[in-house]
Amino acid sequence: MLVDWIKLSFALVLLWLPVTVLHGKRVIYREVARDWEGYWGRTLGLGWHAFDLLRAIIGAWLLAGALARAPGAQGAMKYSAFVAQTAILALATILQTMVCRLRDCAHAPFAF
C-alpha cells in the first residue's frame, strides 16, 4: 500500500475531529421528533451541517488520494488500501455520532 502521509494526516484531522468539540456553550441540543416533515430544510440550512458536509467531502477526497494500492500487490494486499479507507471512514462515523457533550445522548451527523 502506498501512503501519502501529508494527505492522510489532513484527512484524519478533518474526518476524526468530532464536530461537537467545535460547538460553543450556546448550542442547544434537542430531540429529533419522529415526524420528519419540515426538518430537512431547517437541518440542512444550519451552518454546522454545511460545515460537516464540506469537511466530510474534503476529508474523503484527501483520504482517497492518500492511500493507494501498490502496483505489484498480490492476494489480500490488493485490498489493503480499500480496507484501510473503510476502517478510517467507519471510525470517523462512530466518532461523529458518539462524541456528544450531553450525557446519554448521541449526535446525529445528518450531513456527515
Q: What is the pLDDT of residue 100?
A: 73
**pLDDT, greater one: 100 or 15:** 15
Domain-located, residue 33: yes
Beta-ladder partners of 20: none
Q: What is the pLDDT of residue 97?
A: 80
Determine the 3-state secondary structure of 10 from DSSP: helix
The domain of 61 spans 2-98
pLDDT per residue over 50-87, tens digit each? 788 888 999 999 999 999 999 988 998 999 999 999 99
Nearest-angstrom CA–CA distance, 21 and 101: 8
> What's this model's pTM, rounded to 2 decimal places?
0.76
Domain-located, residue 106: no
Radius of gyration of the chain (CA): 17
Domain-located, residue 109: no
Number of compact structural domains in the chain: 1
Q: What is the pLDDT of residue 112?
A: 66
Domain-located, residue 26: yes
Q: What is the mean pLDDT of the chain?
A: 82
Q: What is the pLDDT of residue 85?
A: 95
Q: What is the pLDDT of residue 27?
A: 67
Res. 89: pLDDT tops 80: yes
Domain-located, residue 111: no
